[in-house]
Amino acid sequence: MSGGGKQHFDKVVFKRPDSLVDVKTHFCPGCHHGIAHRIVAEAIDHFGMREKTVGVACVGCSVFLYDYIDVDVVEAPHGRAPAVATGVKRALPDHFVFTYQGDGDLAAIGTSEIIHAANRGENLTVIFVNNTTYGMTGGQMAPTTMLGQKTSTSPYGREFSNDGYPIKMAELLAQLEGVAFSARVATSSPAQIRKAKEAVKTAFDMQIRRMGLSVVEFLSTCPTNWGMKPLDARNRVLGEMIDYFPLGTFKERKQADFV
Amino acid sequence: MRDMDKTNTDVIFAGFGGQGILMVGNLLSIAAMEEGRQVTYFPAYGVEMRGGTANCTVVISDDEIGSPVVGHPRACVVMNAPSLEKYQSMMSPGGTLVVNSSLVEKGDVKRTDLSVLFVDANEIARGVGSLQLASMVALGAYAAKTGVVGIDTLCGCLPKVVSKKYEKFIPLNISALKEGASFA
Amino acid sequence: MKDADAGTVHREFVKGNEAICHGALAAGCRHYFGYPITPQNDIPEYMSTHMAAHGGVFLQAESEVATINMLLGAAAAGKRVMTSSSGPGISLMQEGISYMAGSELPAVIVNISRSGPGLGGIAPSQGDYFQAVKGGGHGGCRIPVLAPHSVQEMYELTMHAFELADRYRTPVMILGDAIIGQMKEPYTPGLCEPPGPIDKPWATTGCAGRPRQHVKSLYLKDDDIERHNWKLHEKLQRIEKAEVRAESYHLEDARIVLVAFGTAARVCKTAIQWARKEGIAAGMIRPVTLFPFPKTLVHETAGKADLLLVVEMNTGQMVEDVMISTSHHDKVRFMGKPCAMPTPDDILAEIRLLAGKTS
Ligand SMILES: Cc1ncc(C[n+]2csc(CCOP(=O)(O)OP(=O)(O)O)c2C)c(N)n1
Ligand code: SF4
């Protein structure tokens, strides 16, 4: 393979989404954040909303969202993305606004913000990436950490008697009236990725139709902090993670009930 | 004003994560402590580690040590090419540069005012028994070349940095240190 | 100076963050609450590994807001409690710190500070000086602040912090930075006495055999809140009188006196050693307590020296306390480097300049 300039082909069958910036990411090998980024960018392209989109980045390994997705981005304090997004959306109601948050960000420090944004039925889309750990800070326990999982702050394995149970956010949020769409997807096989794309498109569509808050939880990997090779990490998602965090759609509103 | 006295010195170890960079830095520090010296050790931390690089700085002195971080190191042990690129321009004139020539092109060393030692660390390590020992080989070479601590002290301190699980590899580490030392 | 005792005294080689844990455990702290943030993660990680073996409680909270309130609860229950964090997390704790100061609750809060404002970065910084020293919380809350500059002091000042906290019934802050937290150097455990057990008759432990009592900061009746403020003020005055600590480094004959704390002070020491080799009479005041600030020492020294050079890893904060301490404003100079370590060479160059030397 020559490392030279780009080759020319007659017909384009696959390309980088326009909304995905052509740079190398900082993600570790085998990390699924990159796949989720691509899916989000494809959905933005699909609806042709690149110039009318404002993203809200969280604090975590995905904080560099602004380097990778070619839209305007506001950085929120740790956990506060749904509140920041609320502010943006209320100021620019005709724009498309999404947050992209990790599990420490959304399900620990930011629980209050996500619950209340959801309960208000804010027209926002939330991309929630669950890798059962705090990636950026070096693999500490998250609220989503599995029972028995060893992390740097649960060195003997998570025990429910001290730390409770892994929290199922997609199911929990589905209970709230303000939520229009809640689904859990994974990106560990081509079939799962196809379903994830559909879910994200539906979630975006909900916001466009002003149906309420839409959330897609991605089961993701963190090979670095799990101490696993990329393939083993992928298999962990397919195995114990999906066993505990079932994939599927937990809520899909058909008709807005507050127009 | 800054004495180039061999025993009051500072050194940066740099390479890939997984090459044992932090461990050899720790070993050198503990050996210096055992010899009754003042010593500080400062590792790269946090997101700096992402992307698979590792480095640490060790300062050894007979006086109270000020900064544990140095802008112009008096010695560097570079275990891969990116580390050479990053550190060679920063080094103090006359400093000691130990280069892992298994992974670094000799021609990439551009400075002419340094005392340079090329060590085929990966090859030597493989000969001793494991590629994992390459940094240990380089540490042996550095210590022997500069005389900053005794090779015997380094060997004696190994149990303090090697975890119980890897205790059985201590003899191999000793061989690696000595092979490196004989190279200097 | 060669460490003469090296052969006999037991020295451990640990990170500053870990020395804090050793100090806390030695001081009898058995309740630690925290939330991950770089560059202090070694502290919760160490506590999660070792607290259980000491029969204590380690709990990772869902946020720093929750953390500080868990601390409030356990402190009200009469326990020795500690948490640690860095800039963004310490900001979130300010509400709880103010409540604890108002409720007169002892606790140790460690700030291994990093760059700001906002998310800033993880580089070392002394940008949290104002927040720590002037009372980051609302309502006139101020708490003692200790600034270690070595791994040894990370250990000793943590013990001392627990002692101050209990003696004055106040939260106490340890203000370190990424360098002092992440670096390893030898330290000697057991050089100072851990604080002994202390009676806490005010604690809310259940009113068996006594009238009920409260831990609170709300005072609505008459002029209760004014009285409460005067009481807290009087306590701060006692602390200012009795608890000032500072290191005098080559001060006796110094013409140029540096003022620096924490990591910046370490670098200054090297610069001063070099300056003295060149025949420049340089020295340093190193505040160990940032609040209370060593005002008298600064004032007296300013009277004698030619110049004071304040060195900070920010754009100028402690220099204001130096100005308040002395009327010799014309003698005060400042050198700042936000979010990075100044090098000894930089500081030496400045000292030479001030000494009128251009070697
Ligand atoms: C108030 C506050 N507390 C703590 C932190 C430190 N911090 C940065 S990222 C992060 C969590 C990252 O984990 P997660 O949200 O699961 O995302 P991931 O990195 O795994 O993608 C934390 C705790 C912070 N920046 N601000
Ligand atoms: S640390 Fe984990 S979550 Fe972060 S980029 Fe690496 S693999 Fe992904």
Measure Cα distances from C229 to A17, C87, C95, C136, C139 in Å.
61, 28, 17, 17, 9
Chain B residues 23-62 with a CB less than 8 Å from chain A: 46-47, 50-51
Q: Is the CB of A82 under 6 A from ligand 1?
A: no
- Residue A102 CA to residue A113 CA, distance in Å, equals 14
Q: How far is CA A96 from the centre of its chain?
A: 16
State yes or no: pLDDT of B59 exceeds 60.
Answer: yes
Instruction: Return the CATH number of the domain spanning residue range B9-179.
Output: 3.40.920.10
Query: Are B40 and B61 spatial neighbours (Cβ–Cβ below 8 Å)?
Result: no
Peptide bond before C292: cis, by omega within 30 degrees of 0?
Answer: yes
Neighbours of C130 (CB within 10 A): 14
Q: Is the CB of A222 under 6 A from ligand 2?
A: yes
| Amino acid C262: pLDDT | 98
Q: Which domain holds residue A98?
A: 33-252
In a domain, A18, yes or no: no
- Domain match, C116 and C170 both: yes
Per the CB < 8 Å rule, is C266 touching B67? yes
* Mutation to probe ligand 1, out of A134, A146, A149, A169 (largest number of atoms < 8 A from CB): A134
List b or e across A150-179, with b for residues whose CB sees 16 or more CB atoms inside 10 angstroms.
Answer: bbbbbeeebeeeebeebbbbbbbbbebebb
* Mutation to probe ligand 2, out of A25, A32, A101, A136 (largest number of atoms < 8 A from CB): A136
Cα torsion angle, C73, C76, C79, C82, sign: positive
- Residue C298 CA to residue C289 CA, distance in Å, equals 13
Q: Is the CB of A130 under 6 A from ligand 2?
A: no
Q: Which domain holds residue C336?
A: 246-354
Number of domains observed in the structure of chain C: 2
Closest CA of chain C from B67, distance in Å: 5
Query: Are C184 and B41 spatial neighbours (Cβ–Cβ below 8 Å)?
Result: yes
Q: Is the CB of C92 under 6 A from ligand 1?
A: yes
Place of tokens 């704390």: C261
Per the CB < 8 Å rule, is C38 touching B45? yes
Phi and psi dihedrals of C347, rounded to 5? Answer: -70, -40
Chain A residues 137-166 with a CB less than 8 Å from chain B: 137-138
DSSP 8-class letter at C139 = S
* Mutation to probe ligand 1, out of A27, A31, A33, A59 (largest number of atoms < 8 A from CB): A59
In a domain, C283, yes or no: yes
- Residue C292 CA to residue C260 CA, distance in Å, equals 15
- Residue B154 CA to residue C14 CA, distance in Å, equals 18
CATH number at residue C346: 3.40.50.920
Q: Which residues of A touch C (CB under 8 A)?
A: 59, 63, 75, 77-79, 104, 108-109, 111, 134, 136-138, 140-141, 143, 152-156, 162-163
Contacts A136 to C, Cβ<8 Å: 38
Q: Which ligand is located closest to the Cα atom of residue C61?
A: 1
C309 - beta bridge partners?
C258, C333
The length of chain B in residues reads 184
Per the CB < 8 Å rule, is A26 touching B46? no
Closest CA of chain A from B25, distance in Å: 21
| Amino acid A258: pLDDT | 57
Per the CB < 8 Å rule, is C48 touching A154? yes
Query: Which pairing describes strands C145-146 and C289-291: parallel, antiparallel, or unpaired?
Result: antiparallel
pLDDT band, very low/low/confident/very high, at A6 (cuts 50, 70, 90): low
Residues A172-202: pLDDT tens digits?
999 999 999 999 999 999 999 999 999 999 9
Q: Which residues of C touch A (CB under 8 A)?
A: 35-38, 41, 44-45, 48-49, 52, 58-60, 62-65, 88, 118-119
Q: How far is CA C358 from the centre of its chain?
A: 37
Closest CA to C311 of C323, C302, C299, C319: C319
Q: DSSP E strands: which ranges in C16-97?
A: 31-34, 57-60, 81-85
State yes or no: pLDDT of A3 exceeds 70.
Answer: no
Neighbours of A203 (CB within 10 A): 25
**Contact B165/A at CB under 8 A:** no
CATH number at residue C32: 3.40.50.970
**Contact C1/B at CB under 8 A:** yes
- Domain match, C228 and C258 both: no
Query: Are A63 and C38 spatial neighbours (Cβ–Cβ below 8 Å)?
Result: no
- For residue C268, what are its two tokens? 């200054």
- Domain match, C189 and C272 both: no
Contacts A25 to B, Cβ<8 Å: none
pLDDT band, very low/low/confident/very high, at B144 (cuts 50, 70, 90): very high
State yes or no: pLDDT of A27 exceeds 60.
Answer: yes
Place of tokens 């990116």: B82
Ligand 1 midpoint to CA A222 (Å): 14
Contacts C3 to B, Cβ<8 Å: 36-38
Query: Are A138 and A152 spatial neighbours (Cβ–Cβ below 8 Å)?
Result: yes
Exposure of A59 in the CB half-sphere (CA atoms within 13 A): 19
Per the CB < 8 Å rule, is B62 touching C1? yes
Mean pLDDT to the nearest integer, A27-51: 97
Residue of B50, B53, B163 to mutate, interface with A, max A Cβ within 10 Å: B50
Where is the domain boundary, C190, C222, C242?
C242
Q: What is the largest distance, in Å, between two alpha-carbon atoms of chain B? A: 46
Place of tokens 């990966």: B122
Residues C91-117: pLDDT tens digits?
999 999 999 999 999 999 999 999 999
- Residue A21 CA to residue C274 CA, distance in Å, equals 50
Ligand 2 midpoint to CA A197 (Å): 21
Ligand 2 midpoint to CA C84 (Å): 24
Closest CA to A59 of A85, A37, A78, A82: A78
Ligand 1 midpoint to CA C172 (Å): 26
Closest CA to B124 of B61, B52, B65, B173: B173
CATH number at residue A38: 3.40.50.970
| Amino acid C358: pLDDT | 55
Number of inter-chain CB pairs under 8 A, A vs B: 7
In a domain, C2, yes or no: no
B129: helix, strand or coil: coil
Q: Is the CB of A137 under 6 A from ligand 1?
A: yes
- Residue A239 CA to residue A232 CA, distance in Å, equals 10
Q: What is the largest distance, in Å, between two alpha-carbon atoms of chain A? A: 62
Closest atom, ligand 2, to C-alpha of A30 = 7
Contacts C39 to B, Cβ<8 Å: 45-46
| Amino acid B25: pLDDT | 98
C38: nearest CA in chain A? A137
Q: Which ligand is located closest to the Cα atom of residue C44?
A: 1
Closest CA to A163 of C52, C35, C93, C58: C58
Phi and psi dihedrals of C79, rounded to 5? Answer: -95, 155
The helix or strand, by DSSP H or E, that contains position A216, with its residue range, turns out to be strand A213-219
- Residue A173 CA to residue C191 CA, distance in Å, equals 54
The helix or strand, by DSSP H or E, that contains position A163, with its residue range, turns out to be helix A160-163
- For residue C325, what are its two tokens? 């301490």
Across chain B, mean pLDDT equals: 92
Query: Which pairing describes strands C282-287 and C246-249: parallel, antiparallel, or unpaired?
Result: antiparallel
Q: DSSP string of A14-57?
A: S---TTB-SS---PPTT-SHHHHHHHHHHHHHHTT-GGGEEEEE
Where is the domain boundary, C242, C265, C292?
C242
- Domain match, C129 and C34 both: yes
Residue of A33, A67, A224, A229 to mutate, interface with B, max B Cβ within 10 Å: A224
Cα torsion angle, C5, C6, C12, C17, sign: positive
Per the CB < 8 Å rule, is B46 touching C266? no
- Residue A142 CA to residue A154 CA, distance in Å, equals 10
A133: nearest CA in chain C? C36
- Residue B95 CA to residue C270 CA, distance in Å, equals 20
Closest CA of chain B from A24, distance in Å: 11
- Residue A203 CA to residue C303 CA, distance in Å, equals 70
Where is the domain boundary, C224, C242, C260?
C242
Enumerate residue ranges in chain C where pLDDT < 50. 1-7, 359
Q: Is the CB of A131 under 6 A from ligand 2?
A: yes
In a domain, C7, yes or no: no
The helix or strand, by DSSP H or E, that contains position C113, with its residue range, turns out to be strand C107-115
Closest CA to A76 of A57, A90, A62: A57
Closest CA to C140 of C77, C225, C30, C223: C225
Contacts A59 to C, Cβ<8 Å: 88, 119
Contacts B50 to A, Cβ<8 Å: 26, 28, 224
Across chain A, mean pLDDT equals: 95
Residues A140-179: pLDDT tens digits?
999 999 999 999 999 999 999 999 999 999 999 999 999 9
- Domain match, C290 and C172 both: no
State yes or no: pLDDT of B1 exceeds 50.
Answer: no
Q: Is the CB of A27 under 6 A from ligand 2?
A: yes
Measure Cα distances from A223 to A126, A136, A184, C8 in Å.
24, 12, 20, 45
**Contact A26/B at CB under 8 A:** yes
Query: Are B74 and B95 spatial neighbours (Cβ–Cβ below 8 Å)?
Result: yes
- For residue C191, what are its two tokens? 């050089």
Q: Whose CA is nearest to atom 8 of ligand 2?
A: A31
- For residue C211, what are its two tokens? 């009238």
- Domain match, C47 and C179 both: yes
Query: Are C154 and C148 spatial neighbours (Cβ–Cβ below 8 Å)?
Result: yes
Q: pTM of the predicted model, to two decimals?
A: 0.94
Phi and psi dihedrals of A134, rounded to 5? Answer: -90, 105
Number of domains observed in the structure of chain A: 1
- For residue C291, what are its two tokens? 């609040």
Mean pLDDT to the nearest integer, A66-86: 97
Domains of chain B, residue spans: 9-179
Per the CB < 8 Å rule, is B47 touching A136? yes
Ligand 1 midpoint to CA A79 (Å): 8
Q: DSSP E strands: which ranges in chain B?
A: 9-16, 38-43, 53-61, 75-78, 96-100, 115-119
Per the CB < 8 Å rule, is C88 touching A78? yes
